[in-house]
Amino acid sequence: MANTDLLKSISDLALDLRSSWNHAADELWAQLDPELWNLTHNAWLVLQTVSRPKLDAAFADGRFRKKLDEVLADRTSSSQKQRWFQTLQTESRLSTVAYFSMEFMLSDALPIYSGGLGNVAGDHLKAASDLGVPIVGVGLLYQQGYFRQHIDSDGNQIALHPYNEPGQLPISPLRDSDGEWLRISVQLPGFVLFIRTWQVQVGRTKLYLLDTNDAANLPEYRGITSELYGGGPELRLQQERILGIAGWRLLRTLGIHPEVCHLNEGHAAFAVLERARSYMMDTGKPFAEALAVTRAGNLFTTHTPVAAGFDRFSPEVMRDRMRDYAEKDLGIPLEQLMALGRQNPADASEPFNMAYLAIRGSGAVNGVSRLHGEVSRRIFQPLFPRWAQTEVPVGYVTNGIHTPTWDSAEADELWTSVCGKDRWRGTLGVIDQKLRGAPDADLWNMRQKARKSMVEYLRTRLARQLAGHGASEDEVAQAGRIFDPDTLTMGFARRFATYKRPNLLLKDPDRLLRILTNRSRPVQLVLAGKAHPQDAAGQQMIREWVQFIRRSAARSQAVFLSDYDMGLTEHLVQGVDLWLNTPRRPWEASGTSGMKVLVNGGLNCSELDGWWAEAYTPEVGWAIGDGQEHGDDQGVDAMEAEQLYTLLEQEIVPEYYNRDQAGIPSGWVRRMRESMSRLTAQFSTNRVVREYTELEYLPLAKRFAERSENNGAAGVSILEWQRLVEEHWSRVRFGALEVHTEGGRHFFAVQVWVDELGADAVHIELFAEGVNGAPPVREATMRGPEPIGAGSAYVWSAAIAADRPASEYTPRAIPWHPAALVPLECQKILWYR
């Protein structure tokens, strides 16, 4: 292979973020520039920096060339292999899922993420690559990304915004068939906004990014995509408009026509409008019909546990920024668009809620844990008045993490030896059973090695952090000796926000200090996390931790590492023995940080919130809280802090140090084995993406295809039905109800007047609340053959087992159409009482 061809091949390799979970090529980049690679893990930057003579010399090095050929062959083979989706879903109508997200956490080499939302999005694309699910990502390229954190000598957080130089990021410009850089143009009042486009390779999956830093734009518009979650509402609206509207236009320009559009949070909700507009252009249909057809293929995933967390825009901002789009592009008045984002469509003063738009523009909605599904149904209940809260149309798919990204080298070696190399690329099969057979010594040896690797990393990072702050040589040298590789190490790292209670462990600092400094059973604590630049309370909590660590007795047992990022996360979750999480229930929608320790044999001690509320059993870790909601009750905080201290003192620390004759903490290892075998696969994105595919993507693609048939006839039919229901529902009413019990069955007969709506447009059913957490009972009734008396009254009847009192069942009337999603597309309901 000529050097020109080799350069092309190694460039493609450097641009593929498969390297964030497949480390076969690491030694190649380390050979080209060991220092730069060690500091950045950015293969593209290494390749851009190395000189051509040095690269040619590497190509001439037999060992380097052999390794490069092996890696390239493996990459080609991986891209061509049949994966889970190709082998099991061959008859599906699904060719593409477009996954829209405000942020993606794929690699430290591409810092366009903040935290959990980006983590979920990045891991979703990686798992799609592993499983062969045809997903393309759409996001924004930020010139500065999320802020970088500096902690000064007083513990104050200082926000820094270094520039993301595109030429040093593992991205490439998107080009059209003529080689011209692809730019999307958006007509704004009086001028055109130009949006540059980029491509990111994520194994078999692609991510497309957009940015406005185009020289042809006005200066104030070049900065729209400068910062993630920065600026005020108007800038956020501009960003979300680009993500949803320009993002969908980019897919159209590329000739990509997704059957399913997956909105990862409400930020991307404008995509449902642009998808409808595209359908209008293709078919000549008006907006209402286009939305009725296209919404069937849209999925909205909400991550927000409180109503106040959704993006809202004032009527004034919407009028300034969206009027032209509504009137000229969608062909509707602005107020019609505004109605899609309001609880009360007729309230002209109500802000526009992006989550409401996402719900009204989607064919399915889900939360990100079982508990969050319940919380979301409560949040969105106002959109479905008089419906039982359990029936608000929000399901759940619990989040997971991409295990190959987050496992340590030591854990990977253990899992490979026990479960095989391709364990995360199929249905996961019996890996739990195989893991249970691993010897105690192997599990404990893996933990010992991983903790030692983490301590070495922490020492290096802390020393560099202190040197950067101007610390003395003695302080820097002391950092190089911090922590004992054989000591129980706890980790707490996440966003510092009041609801996450990062200072719960500081309720009694003296007691915490005694736990950390116990001579016979010492404990080490590593902390990290950012507070939003506008969050004064979160920044104060960082200061409190820094001040605590300054105490001479704590200095050797605890450390706060600044600039929490993906690289630091990887090392912490790989090395800590115990991961702490202390949110106020139910404000942690899911949480993924604790999932990352599972594959590495780390254990969790967490509030019964988010994913842990469904994962916890006493055999796999520890829990705090009573599983109830208490708001921000400070008394409850004090009680749960006491519970956490007691767990550490009486259970966790003793179990870790209680060793058998071989020096192994058998009780701790037993818990490790249960945690790894029961939970790792369950809370992996392998399970998540397969679940989304089977439960959401395939049904949505089928429904969209059905609604698109016959020039969108189903959409027209649904709109006509909705109009009839709106016009006549107020005159639907119940008449007499007769109930009797005989032979162990309840018999119900109820009269219902359906007016001009017609009996075929209504379903009558018996409803009873679920018992002991079971879903509600919905018993269908049968309509009599003829109306009774004068008018449009019918008798509906049903018989049901008399295992509950008849009084617990209530007849109700629900609008019905064979193709409609009720109550998502029609919220009307009438109860007998």
Kindly report the number of other CB atoms within 10 A of residue 75's CB atom.
20
Is there a contact between 450 and 600 (Cβ–Cβ < 8 Å)?
Answer: yes
- Residues with Cβ < 8 Å from 367, sequence gap 6 or more? 301, 302, 303, 373, 374, 375, 376, 394, 395, 396, 589
Please say whether the beta carbons of 776 and 767 come within 8 A: yes
Calculate ∠ Cα 605-610-611, nearest 5°.
Answer: 70
Please answer whether residues 517 and 552 qualify as being in contact, where contact means their C-beta atoms are separated by less than 8 angstroms: no
In terms of DSSP H, where are the helices of 693-818? 698-728
pLDDT band at 145 (very low <50, low <70, confident <90, very high): confident
Give the Å distances, CA to CA, from 711 to 95, 252, 255, 707: 20, 20, 21, 8
The amino acid at 79 = S
Taking a C-beta distance cutoff of 8 angstroms, is the pair 296, 258 a contact? Answer: no
| Cis peptide leading into residue 439 (ω within 30°) | no
Contacts of 27 (CB under 8 A, 6+ apart): 67
Question: Which domains, and CATH codes, for the chain?
Answer: 3-80 (no CATH), 84-396 (3.40.50.2000), 435-674 (3.40.50.2000), 732-831 (2.60.40.10)
Phi-psi label, residue 83: left if phi above 0, alpha if psi -120 to 50, beta otherwise: beta
Residue partners of 322: CB distance under 8 A and separation at least 6: 237, 241, 334, 337
Lowest-confidence range among 177-186, 197-206, 614-623? 177-186
Mean pLDDT within 95-113: 96
Give 556's contacts (C-beta < 8 A, 6+ positions apart).
Answer: 482, 483
pLDDT single digits (tens) 656-711: 999 999 999 999 999 999 999 999 999 999 999 999 999 999 999 999 999 999 99
Is residue 346 predicted with pLDDT exceeding 70? yes
- Between CA 268 and CA 500 the distance in angstroms is 26
CB 66 within 8 A of CB 60: no
Task: Write the burial class of residue 475 (CB in 10 Å: 0-12 exposed, 13-18 middle, 19+ buried).
Answer: middle
Please check whether residue 135 is in contact with residue 685, taking contact to mean a CB–CB distance below 8 angstroms: no
What integer pLDDT is reported at residue 790 of this predicted model? 66
824: helix, coil or strand? coil
Could you tell me whether strands 312-313 and 352-353 are parallel, antiparallel, or unpaired per DSSP bridges?
A: antiparallel
Query: Residue 429's pLDDT is what?
Result: 77
- Structure confidence by residue, pLDDT tens digits, 567-609: 999 999 999 999 999 999 999 999 999 999 999 999 999 999 9
Kindly state the percentage of the chain with pLDDT values over 70: 99
Provide the edge-to-edge strand list for the sheet that holds 777-780: 777-780, 762-768, 810-815, 830-831
Q: What is the CA radius of gyration of the chain?
A: 29
Mean pLDDT calculated for residue range 237-259? 97
Nearest by Cα to 407 from 798, 4, 21, 130: 21
> How many Å apart are CA 683 and CA 678, to the nearest integer?
9
Nearest Cα neighbor of 126 from 406, 419, 450 is: 406
Tokens 């702490």 locate to 580
Compute CA distances 222 → 103, 193, 216, 243, 561, whole Å: 19, 9, 9, 15, 34
Pairing of strands 793-801, 782-783: antiparallel
Give me the chain's average pLDDT, please.
94
Lowest mean pLDDT among 186-190, 232-236, 375-379, 441-445: 186-190
Rounded distance between C-alpha atoms, residue 34 and residue 40, angstroms? 10
DSSP 829: -
Residue 397: what pLDDT? 98
Instruction: Compute the distance between CA of residue 33 and CA of residue 47 in angstroms, rounded to an integer.
Output: 9
Checking if the pLDDT of 779 tops 90, the result is yes
303 contacts 265 by C-beta, under 8 angstroms: yes
Mean pLDDT of 146-153: 90
Residue 476 is predicted with a pLDDT of: 87
The residue type of 77 is S
Please name which of 92, 168, 83, 174 lies closest in space to residue 127, comparing C-alpha atoms. 83
Query: What's the whole-number mean pLDDT along residues 31-59?
Result: 94
Whether pLDDT at 167 is above 60: yes
Q: What is the DSSP string of 273-300?
A: HHHHHHHHHHH---HHHHHHHHGGGEEE
| Other C-beta atoms lying within 10 Å of the C-beta of residue 274 | 23
CA angle 331, 334, 340 (to 5 degrees): 100
pTM of the model: 0.96
Can you tell me which residue has the tokens 């292979």?
A: 1
Which own/partner pairs from 512-515 qualify as long-range (CB within 8 Å, at least 24 positions apart)? 512/548, 512/645, 513/551, 513/553, 513/554, 515/645, 515/648, 515/649, 515/653
Give the residue-averaged pLDDT of 725-743: 94
Q: What are residue 83's phi and psi, to 5 degrees?
A: -110, -175
**What mean pLDDT comes out for the span 784-789?**
82
Task: State how far the Cα of 130 lies from the Cα of 79, in Å rounded to an integer.
Answer: 9
Mean pLDDT over 730-753 rounds to 95
Using the predicted structure, report yes or no on whether residue 791 has a pLDDT greater than 80. Answer: no
Q: What letter does residue 262 receive in the DSSP assignment?
A: E
Which pLDDT band holds residue 158 (cuts at 50, 70, 90)?
A: very high
Tokens (6 digits) for 161: 């915004």
Flag whether pLDDT at 774 surpasses 90.
no
How far apart are the C-alpha atoms of 85 and 571, rounded to whole Å?
32
Predicted pLDDT of residue 581: 97
Task: Report the SS3 class of residue 209.
Answer: strand
What confidence category does residue 478 fall into, taking pLDDT thresholds of 50, 70 and 90? confident
pLDDT, residue 2, reads 58
Q: Among residues 734, 732, 743, which one has the least CA distance to residue 796? A: 734
Q: What φ, ψ does residue 264 adopt, rounded to 5°?
A: -85, 85
pLDDT at 88 over 80: no
Name the nearest CA neighbour of 199 among 139, 115, 272, 131.
Answer: 139
The letter for the amino acid at 405 is: T
Element (H, E) at 390: none
First to last CA, the chain: 80
- Using alpha carbons, list the distances in angstroms from residue 128 to 98, 170, 264, 580, 687: 12, 19, 15, 29, 11
Instruction: Return the closest-CA partner of residue 267 out of 207, 186, 365, 354.
Output: 354
Number of Cβ within a 10 Å radius of residue 182 = 18
What is the per-residue pLDDT for 786? 82
pLDDT band at 89 (very low <50, low <70, confident <90, very high): low
Q: What is the mean pLDDT of residues 11-33?
A: 95
- List b or e across 238-268, with b for residues whose CB sees 16 or more CB atoms inside 10 angstroms: bbbbbbbbbbbbbbbebebebbbbbbbbbbb
Confidence band for 1, pLDDT divided at 50, 70 and 90:
low
Averaged pLDDT for residues 783-809:
89
Q: What's residue 90's pLDDT?
A: 63
* Residue pair 605/579 in contact by the 8 Å Cβ criterion: yes
Give me 269's structure tokens: 């909700």
Residue 358 is predicted with a pLDDT of 98
Distance from C-alpha of 340 to C-alpha of 338, rounded to nearest angstrom? 5
Q: Which residue has the tokens 């005694």?
A: 514
Amino acid 403 reads T
Is the pLDDT reported for residue 719 higher than 60? yes
Alpha-carbon span 781 to 797, nearest angstrom:
5
Residue 187 binned pLDDT confidence (cut-offs 50, 70, 90): confident
- Helix, strand or coil, per DSSP, at residue 750: strand
Q: Classify the phi-psi angles of 625: left when phi > 0, otherwise alpha if psi is within -120 to 50, otherwise beta.
A: left
Contacts of 833 (CB under 8 A, 6+ apart): 810
- Give the whole-angstrom CA distance, residue 641 versus residue 141: 41
- The pLDDT confidence band at residue 765, using thresholds 50, 70 and 90, is very high
| Number of neighbouring beta carbons within 10 Å of residue 320 | 14
